[in-house]
Amino acid sequence: LDKKVRQNIWEDNNFINYKKMSENLAVVRSRLNRPLTYAEKILYSHLDDPHGQDIERGKSYLKLRPDRVACQDATAQMAILQFMSAGMDQVANPTTVHCDHLIEAQVGGERDLARAISINKEVYDFLSSACAKYNIGFWRPGSGIIHQIILENYAFPGGLLIGTDSHTPNGGGLGMAAIGVGGADAVDVMANLPWELKAPNVIGVKLTGQLSGWTAPKDIILKVADILTVKGGTGAIVEYHGPGVDTISCTGMASCANMGAEIGATTSVFPFNDRMYDYLAATKRKDIGDFARGYASELRADEGAEYDQLIELNLSELEPHINGPFTPDLGTPISKFSQAVKENGWPEELKVGLIGSCTNSSYEDMSRAASIARDALDHGLKAKAAFTVTPGSEQIRATIARDGQLKTFEEFGGMVLANACGPCIGQWDRQDVKKGEANSILSSYNRNFTGRNDGNPATHSFVTSPDLVVALTIAGSLHFNPLTDKLKDKDGNEFLLKPPTGDGLPVRGYDPGNDTYQAPPKDRMGVTVQVAPTSDRLQVLQPFQPWDGKDVKDIPILIKAKGKTTTDHISMAGPWLKYRGHLDNISNNMLIGAINEANDEANKIKNFTTGDWDAVPAVARDYKKKGIKWVVIGDWNYGEGSSREHAALEPRHLGGLAIVTRSFARIHETNLKKQGMLPLTFADPADYDKIKPDDKVDILCTQLAVGEPITMVVHPKDGKSFEVPLQHTFNEAQIEWFKNGSALNTMAKTA
């Protein structure tokens, strides 16, 4: 039991330390004296100080020591730029960088990849040289999507990983607590500071029964999202358990854990079981599986562990679901979907079906999807709607190329895109509809906010299992229910599609495909990292100004945002992804998607100094030039969605002081604090309605103290001033970030 087992096949000196983890747990157990959930066991076994750490679910801030860090290319640039300012010569904890977000889908995998490599050369060179210099594993463009690579190579039961992408929880499919964070959090761990997380509550999801027929693992999370809504998981880890768990493949569990991001959960975990063992064995890590078996009792919940909330799902009764449009928590079972399409006037024709993404591109997903396409082909039918496939990794692509699924998709009329995010993040040169034209698309992805996939706000984007994507693509209509509706074959005879079938793991093993990994060189002394001062894609960061110690009086509301304000509204992806390493340039997208309460329009706000209506970034720049700080007023779950810290860096860079909302999404709130902003919430959410876009406010920053409210004085344009009490979640250390101007400034000061 005291073996030396490597974390993965790529790194020689990083081991799994189950012994230490269970010693830590013993300490915590003797203190808490109660049964623990699996989520707690993973977290507490990674405590920096198991003896002294305060532990109260939902209250204490835990200081943790993660096993690994992972970054994708769109967030790694800013993370590495920040790490560089810490002045260390290598990362203190195992770290990898993955090139997946910057590849635009246009004409198909190979050519799209080649084009991306040339367009993004400067960024890729920067990342590859920085990885070589700082001892970071680098996965080149074409290797696949970060979360798929992590599952195939780096995740292990009981481990703790942080990743600069909100779908990092995908690793929960292998029993890991894999948590999405902003780049600045990743930098802490890269620099060997403990990582801080408010001790999460634990939501139990008990699975009974068994999946069958058209119901896929994805339907579990589609249903859970429908129950819990986009903010229902905030501050909590979702822990699946119960006999139904053993009926789901490891990659199927990963799909559920992945999309847990959509309910705001800190992460989702499944207990270690034989399905995980089989997956580990199939991905060259049988030794880890055996090691985990030796510690199996620590890799699941204790008998009698209690959950803060419990949901029960009987998989035998679960129907396939389709969620959307515009939000991932609007779930409709397939039996009611056609009716919902009619009632809501959603465009009936299915224009495009898209499978793949980090959520659903396992061998099992591809095999099941191909079985449906094959059934259609056998009846002389092809895809009626356009159809795309994004394999999650080079290994998946090579394996389905060898085993025939890829050929089936092509015969079926599909376009196979690069092993990358592609249309999931708006990297999609879509040509079949015009901007503004209402239309429907259906994907096996996880997120479907307005405009996300193609930049068209009129596109109704729905998410579902790959199985239903393929089935509805054959019919080309949102009214088709493959469980009950017949199709006509080439001779006009009616037939029912067969329910999907497919192997969970490839019988002939995985084919690794092309070599896409760059290990850090042994001799790293000679490596230099270049950032050209003239670059429009990369910019060295300048430290933010510290707080001047005073209250801030009579400042404008830049925008009072109404309704959903996701990170896609605050810092849009798609065409803006290219500026992720250049703070000033990317700031030109700040809040351009947020809806202004004053006129119900996006990107049109009043500059109070001139009375002119202008774009949000332009007004903010004008205020900044004039030395005027500003605040944003926001609604519920502000900053929902992505981990991108640009959504916090941009307001800071353009002179913002505070973001005042009804509530925040976890990652975004932390990102704001890290950059020296004040994320504040209305003590009484109803006060949101009392604020008008033209009001001025005072923020009494000098009141900032742990657990104490802080006052905002509102000066209406006409009328009497009034006070609004605000809350915050700053702890002692985080208050220093605000005072010093940022977490990074604080790190520099104490170094």
Q: Are 103 and 427 in contact (CB under 8 A)?
A: yes
Cα–Cα distance measured from residue 359 to residue 219, given in angstroms and rounded to the nearest whole number: 12
Q: Determine the interface stretch with ligand MIC among 105-113, 284-292, 512-520, 637-645 (rule: CB under 6 A).
A: 637-645
DSSP-derived letter for residue 590 is B
Q: Is the dihedral of CA 189, 194, 199, 205 positive or negative?
A: positive
Number of residues that bind ligand SF4 (CB under 6 A): 12
Does residue number 145 form part of the binding site for ligand SF4 (CB under 6 A)? yes
- CB nearer ligand MIC, residue 180 or residue 392: 180
| Coil/strand/helix, residue 500 | coil
CA 635, CA 663: separation in Å to the nearest integer? 7
- Euclidean distance between CA atoms 334 and 190, whole angstroms: 45
The string of DSSP codes covering 60-92 is: SEEEE--SEEEEEHHHHHHHHHHHHHTT-SS-S
For residue 302, how far is the Cα from the chain centroid?
29
Which string of x and - marks every residue 92-111 that binds ligand MIC (by CB under 6 A)? ---------x----------
Query: Which phi and psi (to 5°) does residue 403 adopt?
Result: -90, 0
* Token output for 211: 């999946």
164 binds ligand SF4 (CB under 6 A): no
Instruction: Round to whole Å and give the CA distance between 721 and 700.
Output: 14
Of 104 and 165, the one with the shorter C-beta distance to ligand MIC is 165
Q: At its nearest, how many Å lie between ligand SF4 and the CB of residue 100?
A: 6
d(CA 400, CA 530): 39
Active site residue: 644, 646, 652, 668, which one?
A: 644
Stretch that binds ligand SF4, among 118-126, 302-310, 420-428, 537-545 (CB under 6 A): 420-428
Say whether residue 357 binds ligand SF4 (CB under 6 A): yes
Chain CA centroid to CA 139, Å? 19
Which partner in ligand SF4, ligand MIC, none is near 75 (CB below 5 to 8 A by kind)? ligand MIC
* Nearer to ligand MIC among residue 244 and residue 392 (C-beta): 392
Q: How far is CA 690 from CA 297, 496, 658, 697, in A?
A: 54, 57, 18, 12
Q: Which does 643 bind (CB under 5 to 8 A by kind): ligand MIC, ligand SF4, none?
A: ligand MIC
Q: Which are the contacts of 47, defined by CB distance < 8 A and separation ≥ 6?
A: 24, 28, 53, 62, 63, 64, 65
Is 715 in contact with 721 (CB distance < 8 Å)? yes
Nearer to ligand MIC, 8 or 75 (CB): 75
Give the range of 197-205, 292-300, 376-384, 445-453 binding ligand SF4 by CB under 6 A: 445-453
Mark residues 312-351: x for contact with ligand SF4 by CB under 6 A, - for none.
----------------------------------------
Say if residues 177 and 156 touch (Cβ distance below 8 Å).
Answer: no
Nearer to ligand MIC, 168 or 465 (CB): 168
Question: Are the beta carbons of 298 and 175 closer than 8 angstroms?
Answer: no
145 binds, among ligand SF4, ligand MIC, none (CB under 5 to 8 A by kind): ligand SF4
Distance CA 251, CA 365 (A): 9
Amino acid at 313: L
Interface segment toward ligand SF4; rule CB under 6 A; list 215-223, 396-404, 440-448, 602-610: 440-448
421 interacts with ligand SF4 by CB under 6 A: yes
C-beta of 71 vs 595, nearer to ligand SF4? 71
Residue 447 binding ligand MIC, by CB under 6 A? yes
Please count the other Cβ atoms lying within 10 Å of the Cβ belonging to residue 508. 10
Give phi and psi for 5, each to the nearest 5. Answer: -115, 125
- Interacting residue with ligand MIC among 98, 644, 673, 696 (CB under 6 A): 644
- Cβ nearer to ligand MIC, comparing 42 with 573: 573
Active site residue 403: no
CA–CA dist 496, 487 (Å, integer): 6
Instruction: Considering only residues 402 through 431, tell me which ones interact with ligand MIC, judged by CB under 6 A.
Output: 425
Active site annotation includes 368: no
**Cα(445)–Cα(361) distance, rounded to whole angstroms?**
9
Are the C-beta atoms of residues 209 and 316 closer than 8 Å to each other? Answer: yes
Query: Annotated catalytic, 101?
Result: yes
Stretch of residues binding ligand SF4 (CB under 6 A), selected from 86-94, 443-451, 607-615, 700-708: 443-451
Closest contact distance (angstroms) between CB of 711 and ligand SF4 is 39
Among 332, 642, 663, 742, indicate the residue that binds ligand MIC (CB under 6 A): 642
Q: Is 721 among the catalytic positions?
A: no
Exactly one of 444, 642, 663, 742 is catalytic; name it.
642
In angstroms, what is the minimal distance from the CB of 166 to ligand MIC? Answer: 3
- Give the residue, chosen from 643, 681, 740, 745, that forms a contact with ligand MIC under the rule CB under 6 A: 643
Nearest C-alpha neighbor of 309 from the set 242, 238, 245 = 238
Output b/e per residue, 163-193; b: 16+ Cβ within 10 A. Answer: bbbbbbbbbbbbbbbbbbbbbbbbbbbbbeb
Residue span binding ligand MIC (CB under 6 A) among the ranges 48-56, 459-467, 533-541, 636-644: 636-644
Catalytic residue chosen out of the listed positions 241, 430, 447, 569: 447
Report the partner that residue 653 touches, choosing among ligand MIC, ligand SF4, none (CB closer than 5 to 8 A by kind): none
71 binds ligand MIC (CB under 6 A): no
Q: Which residues touch 107 (CB under 8 Å, ≥6 apart)?
A: 415
The residue (of 249 and 446) whose beta carbon lies closer to ligand SF4 is: 446
Residue 627 burial (C-beta neighbours within 10 Å; 0-12, 13-18, 19+): exposed
Please tell me which residue in 57, 65, 98, 101 is annotated as part of the active site. Answer: 101
**Amino acid sitting at position 121:** K
Which range binds ligand SF4 by CB under 6 A, 207-215, 442-450, 607-615, 620-628?
442-450
Classified as helix, coil or strand, 139 is strand
Does 446 interact with ligand SF4 (rule: CB under 6 A)?
yes
The token duo for 275 is: 């399905």
Should residue 221 be labelled a site residue for ligand SF4 when binding is judged by CB under 6 A? no
Is residue 537 a contact residue for ligand MIC (CB under 6 A)?
no
Name the β-bridge partners of 418: none
- To ligand MIC, the closest distance from the beta carbon of 602 in angstroms equals 19
178 in contact with ligand SF4 (CB under 6 A): no
| Residue 649 interacting with ligand MIC (CB under 6 A) | no
- Angle 279-283-286 from CA coordinates, rounded to 5°: 75
3-state secondary structure of 486: coil
Residue 357 contact, options ligand SF4, ligand MIC, none, Cβ 5-8 Å cut-off depending on partner type: ligand SF4
The C-alpha atoms of residue 27 and residue 50 are separated, in whole angstroms, by: 6
403 binds, among ligand SF4, ligand MIC, none (CB under 5 to 8 A by kind): none
Binding mask 156-175 for ligand MIC (x = CB under 6 A): ---------xxx--------
Report the nearest approach of ligand SF4 to the CB of residue 670 (Å): 19
447 is catalytic: yes
Tokens of 535: 């670059």
**DSSP 8-class letter at 687:** G
CA distances 518 to 99, 103, 226, 541, 682, Å, are 12, 19, 41, 26, 48
Q: Is 454 in the site for ligand MIC (CB under 6 A)?
A: no
Choose between 167 and 285: whose C-beta lies nearer to ligand MIC: 167
Find, among 687, 652, 496, 37, the residue nearest to 304 by Cα: 37
What span, in angstroms and rounded, lies between the C-alpha atoms of 571 and 588? Answer: 9
165 counts as binding ligand SF4 under rule CB under 6 A: yes
CB of 581 or CB of 641, closer to ligand MIC: 641
Which residue among 269, 305, 358, 559 contacts ligand SF4 (CB under 6 A)? 358
Concerning whether 524 is annotated as a catalytic residue, the answer is: no
The site for ligand MIC (CB under 6 A) is made up of 74-75, 101, 165-167, 180, 425, 447, 573, 641-644
The site for ligand SF4 (CB under 6 A) is made up of 145-146, 165, 167, 357-358, 421, 424-425, 445-447
Q: Which residues does the annotation mark as catalytic?
A: 100-101, 165, 447, 642, 644
